[in-house]
Chain A
Amino acid sequence: MGRGTLEKLDAIHRGELSAVENVQRALEQIEKLDKQIKAFIELNPNARAEAEAVDRRIKRGERAGKLAGLAIGAKSNINVGDLRTTCASKTLGNYVATYDAEVVKRVRAAGGIIIGMNNMDEFACGSSGETSAFGPTDNPAAPGRIPGGSSSGSAAAIAAGMCDLCLASDTGGSIRNPASHCGVVGIRPTQGLVPSHGLIELSVSFDQIGPLAPDVYGTALMLETIAGRNPDECTTLDLSSVNYLDKLDVKIESIRVGTSPKFSELTDPAVMKVIDGAVEKLHDLGAEVVEVELPHLEKGLSAYYVIMSAEFFSATRKFDGRKYGRRIEEVCGDEVLRRIKCGDYISRKEQRGKYYQRALQVRTLLRREFKEALDRVDVIVGPTVPKLPHELGTKLSPAEMRAYDYLTSPISLAGTCAGVIKAGEVNGIPVGLQVQGRVLGEGTVLRVMHALEAVK
């Protein structure tokens, strides 16, 4: 929204900008642009009141929190108490959350103001933002084109300056893909770093909540706020807190950056050219660039779809038409239905050992492969999405659509982290560099992105 996250926070702390003013501006921006962009499904009617409370705290000199006064968008699959958490679906069209997700609690405790619920692909099933039951989102950075998905509304809202930071989620690339298409910054955290209680599942073993932001500072700030163990959850890592901001400015001279020839095999040459340019910049910044082997990278996509579908089928059984509107199969879009049917088939007893177990084997394989590669380098850099975003309304086959996830889903299988930052443009369309880090390597990933951001 005009200035960087750090400057804005300073302005709020110094009293030059009040939380109320900040929220008001965000709401005005939404009012002005969102009919066209469709980044939000629902706005928080209490946002102003919550901002007033933050202002009172700041005025009294109390600790108002890391995110004090910032306007935060929440993806519509993250429960925000008293707001409709629809997953951009008809099934949950009238579902008003009864509780705050753990990350929402943390954001609120840090003084962040949830301004509204972002549009998304229905149940996060999609890579374009077009499967939403509330209509597709436009790309503010490349109008008329898809913003990417499934966190389409979140990335678009950041790109259009409708809010300061977003809580989004990444399963097979849902933060990284729209970050790339919309030219914003985001990170998929290491599996288990951020608590997921309150995140409506697409695929539990891949789902990760993470930030989308206009800059690396905002990304790091949000991740610091939401990361860390939740003792009431089974699958969060045993990590009490993290600190990224302090080391954001540390130079990257000693860093080893890996690239893989696999990337160019799978990627549109125009996109690859921009990526190569970014790698060149990293080299100029003093990073050592080496090649790494990722021999089974392309096997990730189908393994991902198998596991995700089986888990999605399971997760959607609760939408049986008894509690939340209509039965999911009766009202969902094609892509959701396709995944449910696929998951139904895969997890049948007679299919045991054929798909699901083999996909789990690929997962283990990729986990090992990435570990071996990342033992040799600090980060692996490459394209985020193999091609440019298509124009809204273009008909793509399911296979063409899924191909968007070729380069993001392997990281989901590996369970490691990856951030995305704008590397450049092709004909005015943003292209994001994917910076893939080790398990809990977020600090390094953010540092590399920060260094790149500084030379732009």
Chain B
Amino acid sequence: MALPEFDYIAAKSLEEASQLMVSMGSECVVMSGGTDVILQIPKNVAKGMKTVIDLKTIPGLTRLDFVDGEGLYVGANTKLFDIQSSPVVLDKMPAVAQAAHYVGSNQVRRKGTMVGSICNASPTGDCGAILLAMNAKVKIQSSEGTREVAMDDFWPGFKKIAADKKKGELVTEIFIPELKSGEGSAYFKHAVRKAMDLAIIGVAAWVKMDGKKVADCRIAVAGGDVTIVRGKKAEEMIIGRELTDELIEKVAEQASAEMNPRSSLRASAEYRYDMIRVYTKRAINKAVETMKA
């Protein structure tokens, strides 16, 4: 791809990147792996973007730590490939490794990051749904300090994120709470082909069981609305009830009914509705099957 002209700054520190963002505002974009950002450069340059600020060169942002009793910490420069192939992630939260694995291709995953993926805020992004279902939190840092935002509040609207570029806010880390005993999670992406494809829809489920009853549940759907969203009515329907195939079928229908997918070249809304139903069912079942003892 031939790129138009723009300035490129490899930031040395978060402070530097943050200050540059404050001074440039909408005339800059921030990247780490760049696998989403570079595709959008022609369009962004046409809209007045002049500078790409690269975070890749900032030390200390490649964290991938699982802390017992807490959960998984993923840094802003941590590659998707490292997440997908990490033995500890595969062991402790395989659905997260799977979600990372769904992105693009091997080449893309060796460049791209999970933080970048959620900051791209695509409604069909591959990593967002599992993070939302597992109640992950995002650390946002600027000269004014550090704050934590729940995934529930991270996407305020279509292609929007809770970090404010004009204030120099950067997403530096994702935290995913560990799965405790009786908890399980799963994510399925439905696409036409097995690699190098955008999702038609994706469904993630996190389930906490109390014996045969569902103590708690979070269902997140990609491709169901303008952002990745939760199926809250479906969650209400399942929580506190004894898990049966009939119930899962009804919950899946509810999750589908409360979505608002659009028709596009990729798939009709009608197909998306039904695939949300099918994969909600499959995600709940798999979350329960893979539950921590």
A and B physically associate: no
- A positions within 8 Å CB-CB of B: none
- B positions within 8 Å CB-CB of A: none
